[in-house]
Amino acid sequence: MDTDEEGDNDWDRSLESDMLETTEGSSTNRVTSISQRVILHFDLDCFYAQVEMIRNPALRTKPLGIQQKYLIVTCNYVAREHGVSKMMSVTDAVEKCPQLVLVKGEDLTHYREMSYKVTELLMSYCPLVERLGFDENFMDVTEMVERRLKDTRISDLFFSGHVYKHECMAVDDENARQAVGSMIAAEMRQAIFSTLGLTGCAGIAHNKLLAKLVSGTFKPNQQTTLLPYSTAELMSSLRGLIKVPGIGYKTLEKLKALGLESVRDLQLYPLPDLVKEFGEVNAKRIQKLACGFDDSPVTPAGPPQVESDICEPAANSLFTQADVLHKEDISSNSMKPVKHTLISPTQELQTQPPLIKPKSPRQPVLEHSQVTNMNTSESCMSNAPEKTLRSKLPPGVDPEVFELLPEHIQMELISSFQNEDSAQLNYGPADTSSEVVDPADHSTLAFNQPAPEPCESALNYNRNPASHELGKAWSSAQSSMELDFGLVEATDSHDIPPATQAPQSDIPANVDPYVFSQLPVDVQRELLTEWRQQKSVLKIPSKHSHKTSNTKDRKSTAKGSQGNNILKYFKPN
């Protein structure tokens, strides 16, 4: 829809000015803040089906399949109970479930619109949002966590939702950041549900790969936090290399040809051999992925590359508008030189120990074949350096396992432990050593200036786990959604709308939730703020102030300048 034009210049300026302050201010937390990011991954439940059920609530109680061509691309949970599943042929589906209601899903318009609303909503909390398809979003909430950590007592923290491989988990200073991340994720899921009527899962981890992987462990409508030391367990739980995001069909075939099948196979395979097949960069990348390393930044969506536009003969008429609007950005942010002005913004060192357990006496048995491989590989077993490295291993790292890791991964681990003194106290240190100086903060903070600071207000009503003020408004209608999703999760006590909380709980009964959901997000928020008369620390931003900047910076400036992106780019058209 419409987006406000112009007016972002203020943004850019405030960004610049906030930069130093931000960096300075966080110096006390430097060690922790640089040691690891907090990344959220949101994944909406059967997205197309949810959208159709919002458009036609009568479908909620029926088995619903979304059809493209002759395939059921997704279906609601009622249909799943009847044996229908994604990517099933229509004939098979109808055979399993004769009452199945089919809705054509070839026109993506409505899905796209709702998808962008979700992204916009998330962006109103923090601009570091990256879309993945229509129904997934990554968020880097490191800064938000850091801020919240400062003014929240540890005793007021808790883990919202599940913690991977734990029944329950007390918060201490080792895991406080993850706990805060889980609380933020819960608030955002609540916001998505309240304002848009959509449920979904979230994963909280220290990088995108793991956040995505862990988000699916409890479905639907639940969230899971990964503690860094559980990384290895999560990775080895994957049944096959194709399950590793980033490894696709082609790569899988090549790996199979090399005799690799499991995640562990790839973790332990000699790098030089991998390089022969994939090239150095790619070989390292996929091996790191197998270990749970992922230093890729959360890259906000924006109009297609500006950088290319710069180099290109100015021809592209596709994004002329964006170009015009962002001339300034192009010159100041998008150029490669930015990289040099900061401390290696792009090359974060990610260093969570892949094969570490808190204190397991014994690691899973290694396969002989792999051990053999390792021994014959110089890259994986260089004894000289290894001894020195070993002596520096922090507690919790099993030396035997460590030795088996590829050298480049060993080096990453070690360097992370060397860097910061206290960083190693965390099992999963340094996701990005560069984030300290990273401009990301400014962007985030600057964004929060003019804009309200939803995260804080959201926090307020969630601070007390027991009371969900939001939900009290109306507990009537729309029980179907509650039934579908509300109570699935036993251990997720703080989770989203427990049946007591109806969708759109903030909306007065005389307002149609769907109509409401169609309003621009900022308008929605303004209305919500009014309705709930919460002390809402923040007054909604001036409706147009916040959607104007743009974010063209891509990879190179990724973490840094993304701050100035704005919602305008989210207009599908």
Partner DNA sequence: ATGGGTCCT
Partner DNA sequence: AGGACCC
Task: Report d(CA 488, CA 400) in Å as an integer.
Answer: 41
Task: Report d(CA 137, CA 237) in Å as an integer.
Answer: 23
Contacts with DNA by CB under 7 A lie at 68-69, 71, 73, 87, 106, 108, 112, 131-136, 212, 244-252, 281, 299, 301, 304-305, 554-555, 572
Identity of the residue, 73 or 458, whose beta carbon is nearer to DNA in the bound complex: 73
CB of residue 108 to DNA, shortest distance in Å: 5
Identity of the residue, 134 or 485, whose beta carbon is nearer to DNA in the bound complex: 134
Provide the token pair at 43.
Answer: 């994944």
Evaluate whether 26 touches 441 at the Cβ level (below 8 Å).
Answer: yes
CB of residue 173 to DNA, shortest distance in Å: 33
> 75 to each of 62, 105, 503, how far by Cα in Å?
10, 11, 20
Cis bond upstream, residue 361 (ω within 30): no
Burial of 499 (0-12, 13-18, 19+ CB in 10 A): middle
Evaluate whether 300 touches 128 at the Cβ level (below 8 Å).
Answer: yes
Identity of the residue, 213 or 397, whose beta carbon is nearer to DNA in the bound complex: 213
Identity of the residue, 68 or 534, whose beta carbon is nearer to DNA in the bound complex: 68
Per residue, what are the HEC states of 31-92? HHHHHCCCEEEEEECCHHHHHHHHHCHHHHHCCEEEEECCEEEEECHHHHHCCCCCCEEHHH
Identity of the residue, 159 or 278, whose beta carbon is nearer to DNA in the bound complex: 278
Burial of 387 (0-12, 13-18, 19+ CB in 10 A): exposed
> 372 to each of 291, 367, 377, 418, how far by Cα in Å?
19, 9, 9, 30
Q: How many CB atoms lie within 10 A of CB 247?
A: 20
Closest by CA to 232, choosing from 95, 357, 413, is 357
Q: Pairing state of beta strands 64-68 and 101-104?
A: parallel
Q: How many CB atoms lie within 10 A of CB 92?
A: 15
Task: Report d(CA 494, CA 138) in Å as an integer.
Answer: 22
Identity of the residue, 15 or 298, whose beta carbon is nearer to DNA in the bound complex: 298
CB of residue 242 to DNA, shortest distance in Å: 7
Closest by CA to 141, choosing from 207, 218, 195, 201, is 207
Identity of the residue, 133 or 364, whose beta carbon is nearer to DNA in the bound complex: 133
Identity of the residue, 349 or 558, whose beta carbon is nearer to DNA in the bound complex: 558
Provide the token pair at 379.
Answer: 């890259």
Task: Report d(CA 7, CA 548) in Å as an integer.
Answer: 6
CB of residue 113 to DNA, shortest distance in Å: 11
Provide the token pair at 82.
Answer: 């009847």
Provide the token pair at 14.
Answer: 């405030």
CB of residue 44 to DNA, shortest distance in Å: 8
CB of residue 194 to DNA, shortest distance in Å: 23
Identity of the residue, 92 or 156, whose beta carbon is nearer to DNA in the bound complex: 92
CB of residue 279 to DNA, shortest distance in Å: 8
| Phi–psi pair at 385, nearest 5 degrees | -65, -30
In the set 52, 136, 143, 233, the catalytic residue is 136
CB of residue 264 to DNA, shortest distance in Å: 18
CB of residue 247 to DNA, shortest distance in Å: 5
For the chain, the straight-line distance linking the first and the last C-alpha, in angstroms and rounded, comes to 8
Provide the token pair at 411.
Answer: 């080096």
Identity of the residue, 347 or 375, whose beta carbon is nearer to DNA in the bound complex: 347
The single residue listed with the structure tokens 């919500």 is 528
CB of residue 470 to DNA, shortest distance in Å: 28
Evaluate whether 477 touches 153 at the Cβ level (below 8 Å).
Answer: no
Provide the residue count of the chain.
573
Identity of the residue, 62 or 112, whose beta carbon is nearer to DNA in the bound complex: 112
- DSSP code for 224: E
Task: Report d(CA 557, CA 439) in Å as an integer.
Answer: 9
CB of residue 276 to DNA, shortest distance in Å: 16
The single residue listed with the structure tokens 């029944």 is 167
Q: Which residues pair with 137 in a beta bridge?
A: 42, 131
Task: Report d(CA 274, CA 277) in Å as an integer.
Answer: 5
Q: How many CB atoms lie within 10 A of CB 9?
A: 12
Ordered alpha helix ranges (H), 392-436:
399-404, 407-419
Annotated catalytic residue 277: no
Catalytic site residues? 136
